[in-house]
Amino acid sequence: MSIHSEFSGRSAFVTGAGSGIGAATAVELAARGAKVALMGRRPEPLEATAAAIRAGGGVALVLVGDVADATHVENAVRRTVAEFGGLHLAVNNAGVDGGTQKLADVSVESWQRTIGVNLSGVFFGLKYEIPAIVASGGGAIVNISSVFSDRGLAQHAAYTASKHGVHGLTRTAAHDYARDKVRINELLPGVIDTPMLDSNRGMVEQMTAFIPQGRLGQPAEVARAICFLLGDGASYMTGARVSVDGGFLI
């Protein structure tokens, strides 16, 4: 990882930063000069991401917590501001797939957990990130939804509902804070090769056949698109939806 100055002097907060898209995004942000706070439930993967950042000369702060718990998110954002002197960029990425069942077979506990992480977790992120970013003079947020944020994914009722919800949250938040110098956009990953796919490899193979590029996406490819949305090159973009999907939605 080589450091350059695109985000020099700015701090970033990334949820789900222990693996997959979150880890790749945190490393990419640090490579572009940002100080990065890493939030996730398990310390070991977060420490691995932090080690990769520090090995390249970057700055990382590990914050263990559950995005489905508002107090955890509030405390994590507060610690980020205290450590880095402000907050300028955020990526609400943490997510779970909720398992594979027909709707009536989904347990109440599974529904509540999936909605809690994927939708409430994004709401809690926005709730505490936005005031911190406003107080720092403005910045940008990217919410990670899915190519299934406006269509159905069979046997994934909670996941699909949560991602539809992220779409609505993003549009409303972008409208509410556009004049406060906070840009809020939505990124829709397609079928990306992350640990979340490990329990659904059979379904993934079937879906790959419908991807025009004929392959899975890589976390680093999504991370670069996220950094574009966070950066000054996207200065006139807010409330936008950007797909990184190999053409899946064509």
Burial class, 196, CB count within 10 angstroms (exposed 0-12 / middle 13-18 / buried 19+): middle
φ, ψ at 61 (rounded to 5°):
-125, 125
Q: How far apart are CA 211 and CA 60, in angstroms?
A: 35
Q: Enumerate residues 6+ apart whose C-beta is below 8 A from 250.
A: 212
The residues pairing with 13 across neighbouring beta strands, listed in sequence order, are 37, 90
Residues with a catalytic annotation lie at 159
Element (H, E) at 241: strand 241-244
Q: What is the rounded distance in angstroms from the CA atom of residue 57 to the CA atom of residue 174?
A: 33
Query: What sign for the dihedral angle of Cα 143, 144, 147, 152?
Result: negative
Q: Where are the alpha helices (DSSP H) in the chain?
A: 20-31, 43-55, 70-84, 108-115, 121-135, 157-177, 201-208, 219-230
